[in-house]
Structure 1
Amino acid sequence: MFNALVQFIREQYRSDDFIPLHAPVFAGHERDYVTDTIESTFVSSVGAFVDRFERDMAAYTGSPRAVATVNGTAALHISLKLAGVLPGELVVTQPLTFVATCNAIAYCSAEPLFIDVDRHTLGLSPTALDAWLTEHAEVGDDGLCRTRSDGKVIRACVPMHTFGHPADLDGLVSVCARWQIVLVEDAAESLGSFYKGRHTGTFGALGTLSFNGNKIITTGGGGMILANEALGTHAKHLTTTAKKPHPYEYVHDEVGYNYRLPNLNAALGCAQLEQLEAFIANKRELAARYAEHFQGSDLKFFTEPADCRSNYWLNAVICEGHEQRDALLKATNDRGVMSRPIWALMNHLPIYAHCRKGELSNAEWLEARVVNLPSSVLPDLVV
Structure 2
Amino acid sequence: MNQQWITFANTIKELYKKEYVPLHEPTFDEKEIEYVTDCVKSGWVSSVGKYVDRFENELAEYTGVKRAVAVVNGTAALHIALKVAGVKPNDEVFMPSLTFVATANATSYLQAIPHFVDVSIETLGLDPEKLEEYIKVIGKMKNGQLVNKQTGRIIRAVVPMHTFGHPVDLDPLIELCERYNLVLVEDAAESLGSYYKGKHTGGFGSVSAISFNGNKILTTGGGGAILTNNDQIADYAKHLTTTAKVPHRWAYEHDEIGYNYRMPNINAAIGCAQLQKLPKFIEQKRQLTLVYGDLIKRLDGVTLFNEAIHTKGNYWLQSLILEETFSRDAVLEFLNENGVMSRPIWTPMDELGQFQQMPKADLTVTKRLKNSLINIPSTPLEVK
Relative to the length of structure 1, the TM-score reads: 0.97
- The match for 1:211 is 212
The reply on whether 1:314 has 2:317 as its aligned counterpart is yes
Alpha-carbon distance between aligned partners in 1 of 2:58 and 2:188, rounded to the nearest angstrom: 17
Task: After superposition, give the CA deviation of every residue in 1:214-246 in whole Å (9 maximum; x if it has no partner).
Answer: 000100000000012111111111100111111
Match for residue 293 of structure 1 among 291, 295, 298: 295
Task: After superposition, give the CA deviation of every residue in 1:73-106 in whole Å (9 maximum; x if it has no partner).
Answer: 0000001101111111101000001111110011
- The match for 1:263 is 265
The reply on whether 1:151 has 2:152 as its aligned counterpart is yes
TM alignment of 1:188-267, pairs within 5 A = 188-227=189-228, 228-267=230-269
Alpha-carbon distance between aligned partners in 1 of 2:315 and 2:326, rounded to the nearest angstrom: 26
Q: Which runs of 4+ in 1 moved over 3 A?
A: none
Report if aligned partners of 2:287, 2:383 keep a CA contact under 8 Å in 1: no
Displacement of 1:149: 2.5
Displacement of 1:27: 2.8
Amino acid at match of 2:319: A
Match for residue 105 of structure 1 among 101, 104, 107: 107
Report if aligned partners of 1:139, 1:180 keep a CA contact under 8 Å in 2: no
Alpha-carbon distance between aligned partners in 2 of 1:164 and 1:8, rounded to the nearest angstrom: 25
The reply on whether 1:342 has 2:338 as its aligned counterpart is no
- The match for 1:42 is 44
Alpha-carbon distance between aligned partners in 2 of 1:372 and 1:185, rounded to the nearest angstrom: 23
Displacement of 1:151: 1.7
SS of the residue corresponding to residue 66 of structure 1 reads strand
SS of the residue corresponding to residue 367 of structure 1 reads helix
Alpha-carbon distance between aligned partners in 1 of 2:156 and 2:187, rounded to the nearest angstrom: 16
Amino acid at match of 2:147: R
Alpha-carbon distance between aligned partners in 1 of 2:32 and 2:16, rounded to the nearest angstrom: 23
Alpha-carbon distance between aligned partners in 2 of 1:77 and 1:130, rounded to the nearest angstrom: 26
The reply on whether 1:332 has 2:335 as its aligned counterpart is yes
SS of the residue corresponding to residue 204 of structure 1 reads coil
- Number of equivalences: 379
- The match for 1:77 is 79
Report if aligned partners of 1:23, 1:376 keep a CA contact under 8 Å in 2: yes
Displacement of 1:179: 0.8
Report if aligned partners of 1:28, 1:275 keep a CA contact under 8 Å in 2: no
Q: Structure 1, unaligned stretches of length 5 or more?
A: none
Amino acid at match of 1:187: A
Alpha-carbon distance between aligned partners in 1 of 2:310 and 2:169, rounded to the nearest angstrom: 10
Task: After superposition, give the CA deviation of every residue in 1:184-217 in whole Å (9 maximum; x if it has no partner).
Answer: 0000000000001101111000011000000001
The reply on whether 1:358 has 2:361 as its aligned counterpart is yes
Q: Percent identity?
A: 50
Task: After superposition, give the CA deviation of every residue in 1:131-156 in whole Å (9 maximum; x if it has no partner).
Answer: 11111111212x11111233201011
Alpha-carbon distance between aligned partners in 2 of 1:150 and 1:21, rounded to the nearest angstrom: 41
Alpha-carbon distance between aligned partners in 2 of 1:28 and 1:327, rounded to the nearest angstrom: 41
Report if aligned partners of 1:30, 1:272 keep a CA contact under 8 Å in 2: yes
The reply on whether 1:137 has 2:139 as its aligned counterpart is yes
Displacement of 1:251: 1.5
Displacement of 1:285: 0.2
Alpha-carbon distance between aligned partners in 2 of 1:375 and 1:171, rounded to the nearest angstrom: 30
Displacement of 1:332: 0.5
Alpha-carbon distance between aligned partners in 1 of 2:193 and 2:150, rounded to the nearest angstrom: 41
Amino acid at match of 1:4: T
Relative to the length of structure 2, the TM-score reads: 0.97
Report if aligned partners of 2:284, 2:382 keep a CA contact under 8 Å in 1: no
Task: After superposition, give the CA deviation of every residue in 1:257-295 in whole Å (9 maximum; x if it has no partner).
Answer: 100000000000000000000000001000111112112
Report if aligned partners of 1:126, 1:172 keep a CA contact under 8 Å in 2: yes
Displacement of 1:28: 5.0
Q: What is the RMSD of the two structures over their aligned residues, measured on CA atoms?
A: 1.1
Q: Structure 2, unaligned stretches of length 5 or more?
A: none
Alpha-carbon distance between aligned partners in 2 of 1:279 and 1:28, rounded to the nearest angstrom: 16
